[in-house]
Structure 1
């Protein structure tokens, strides 16, 4: 493994560990502060909106500022956001802190850190597909440990969510500061000399594959925006009264299962192709997703969630490998940033819609709607690309 690849993997593990912890904790923390469900989901909305903004900034100025510069800058923003969350419980401080945090609300990422990293990993590895599989495996494994750490923290602090949050935000600040140091040490992550970005964002959008994939991924992301890890944590809390300790175990197990599934994804893709792996596994996972609200108990609904997680993210490394084949090195960061931006934009309504649905007592609607929308995406991407890719 090259030195830069090792550093990127280290950064991925650090970042997703604290994201895994915070994404489950945040809805419970905001609720413990006395904010209603709509305000809690507004907090999730601000995180997604912030990721959209940071990705657009990256796509627009990557050639000027450099990839390493962006990674260091965003790490410092992440640390500043953690400090703000640690020091204040006021909405006027929490809101901008969440907006600038760059954090993930789910086990996977669509933020600016991943946009850079997944564009660089294929160049640093001999087998890009397997390297991306390992990259995502590490992310979900670390996210699983983060969620399980929430359960341990909750037990050790007698279930006091406010105290758990204070410790968590300190860990968040420390991880962000460490990220800045790791990214500062990167050497070979910039675009090769003479391959600076050749077109602006408008030129990139004129690329047919960028436009089509952005549209398709947006449909998937709209469905996913209804069931991010933070929103699922809130759903289980509202539907079953699940505690932080219980949710830490549930999502720790869910991310561990996801991590295990990612080991198989590149191997399956080598046999049947990236597209088929993406679609076939996704179809079954979305059926399980739509069934979760009909479980009737915390244990059965959690079991359906675990079944879903065993398949739902196998499309992540295969989708990244698929895009790495399509786009040239000089286009790749901006292509990832642009498609991730559209994914984030499409996910923006999700938290607000879920807040409205839960406030209206429509508890099954978020998961059922998400499952049906994502099934539509599966059929569409397969029909459009089946003649160009396996």
Structure 2
């Protein structure tokens, strides 16, 4: 599973990513299915999703700016404990204000990807566990594990639906058990993080002077990634599911099956990204796969029937995540090893902030109309990002690509 000469800590981090991805997949759909049962509108659901994303961004900022004196493993322990508390509290409350507060201070993830405080910590640790030539391949595996686990998580939403249909348990009670699974996952990842023993686990989250010579490049990348994330915020998995529910009256189980298919295809595409990046470069891989995916996303909004819309979403999933391992590898490649944790934080925090507000707007739009305005806005913003990225960074190449050209 791991590339040659990779430290065993990478295997632990891939395992924890898979566990978190699985419960994130469950939660992203259970939130959308459970909150309407409390009488919440699309706008209220969007506000809670926004709160979750803002809370994740704030926690990542805290780690990046104040966590430099703390070993990364200790920070991962703290994140796991917060994960346990979050699942417990969200499964108990029903009021809008209480759930919003838990969403802001907790670790729940309403998206198909990872936006939590764990992400920059694990990304920076992974970069130090393998040689430079294997870095993109390792990130492809990391993306695949998270994606495929998340896909199975969305499929698992059929279990509480089946329990409610075939027993005396209500749909609300069955969905609440999803948060018990989330708590259990927090316990398991906490135990797994205890097995980290490499130098990267003991290293601090950031240096005293996080970014030096790479500051200008990293800030430019962060600005572009924020534009991409802003578009993505309109179609985070919870809001995409809400559109499917309202536009086509799709059941929770059917939505879970669809998102399982799209999630599986997205996860598998990461390996193609590693192969493609070795041939055309990381930046071109990001742009040439992401651009057509966004065209399919816009097209889905205009499809008059569910089969046609599903076809567009499936086609999008074949390409939409191929930029993820390439993007992460590119950021780690254009900075020095000492700057990696800071670079991961600086590029991920603005992404989380930019993605936070759009779900509220998307929820309001879906209250007004079932047309896929969130999909159109998302696809358009992402296309602009693709074109700007290609224009500004196609000639800023990592050292390994330059060395390959010289041979």
Q: 2:180 aligns with which of 162, 170, 176?
A: 170
Over 3 Å counting, the alpha-carbon distance change for 1:27 and 1:195 in structure 2 is: closer
Question: For 1:385 and 1:337, how far apart are their aligned partners in 2?
Answer: 20
Distance 1:381 1:288 in 2: 20
Aligned equivalents of 2:355, 2:258: Cα separation in 1 = 23
Q: What corresponds to 2:129 in structure 1? A: 124
Partner residue in 2 for 1:106: 111
Question: 1:273–1:147: structure 2 CA closer, same or farther, 3 Å change rule?
Answer: same
Please name the residue that 2:405 is paired with.
none
- Cα distance between partner residues in 1 of 2:245 and 2:135: 39
TM-score after normalising by structure 2: 0.91
In the alignment, is the contact (CA less than 8 A) between 2:17 and 2:145 conserved in 1? yes
Give the aligned partner of residue 371 of structure 2. Answer: 363
Spell out, residue by residue over 1:100-159, the C-alpha distance to the aligned partner (whole angstroms, 9 max, x if none).
232322221132111111111121123111010001000111001101111233123219
Residues 182-236 of structure 1 show CA distances to partners (whole Å, capped at 9, x for unaligned) of 1122122547879961326xx6798101210111001111100101111101111
Q: Does 1:213 align with 2:218?
A: no
2:231 corresponds, among 204, 218, 223, to 223
Matched positions, count: 388
Question: Are 2:75 and 1:65 aligned?
Answer: no
- Deviation (angstroms), 1:91: 2.3
| Shift, 1:363, TM fit | 2.4
Corresponding position of 2:314: 306
In 2 relative to 1, CA 195–31 (structure 1 residues): closer, same or farther, beyond 3 Å? closer
The correspondence of residues 311-322 of structure 1 with structure 2, limited to 5 A, is: 311-322=319-330
- 1:338 pairs, out of 336, 340, 346, with 346
Of residues 262, 266, 283, the one that matches 2:274 is 266
Structure 1 unmatched runs, 5+: none
Partners in 2 of 1:195 and 1:212 — Cα distance? Answer: 22
Query: What is residue 404 of structure 2 aligned with on the other side?
Result: none
1:262-302 CA-to-partner distances (Å, cap 9, x unmatched) read 12110110011111100000010000000111111222212
Whether the aligned pair in 1 keeps the contact of 2:143 and 2:325 (CA below 8 Å) is: yes
Counterparts of 1:190 and 1:144, CA distance in 2: 29
Report the 3-state secondary structure (helix = DSSP H, G, I; strand = E; otherwise coil) of the residue aligned with 1:105: coil
Q: 1:183: which partner in 2?
A: 193
Q: Assess if the C-alpha contact under 8 Å between 2:38 and 2:94 holds in 1.
A: yes
2:296 is aligned to 288
Q: 1:53 to 1:73 in 2, by over 3 A?
A: same
- Aligned twin of 1:81: 86
Is the contact made by 1:24 and 1:230 (CA closer than 8 Å) also made in structure 2? yes
Structure 1 residues 379, 194: closer, same or farther in 2, change over 3 A? Answer: closer
1:27 corresponds to 2:35? no
What runs of 5+ residues in structure 2 fail to find an aligned partner? 402-407
Matched, 1:244 2:260: no
Q: Which residue of structure 2 lines up, in the alignment, with residue 56 of structure 1?
A: 61
In 2, the alpha carbon distance for the partners of 1:371 and 1:195 equals 34
Q: Residues 312, 89 of structure 1: CA spacing in aligned structure 2 closer, same or farther, 3 A cutoff? A: same
Question: Aligned-residue CA RMSD in angstroms?
Answer: 2.0
Indicate the residue corresponding to 1:140 in structure 2. Answer: 147
TM-score, structure 1 length as denominator?
0.95
Q: Distance in 1 between matches of 2:115 and 2:249?
A: 29
Partner of 1:255: 263
Could you tell me whether the CA contact under 8 Å between 2:45 and 2:360 is conserved in 1? no
CA change 1:295–1:194 in 2 (3 A) is: closer
Contact 1:111 / 1:340 at 8 angstroms: preserved in 2?
Answer: no
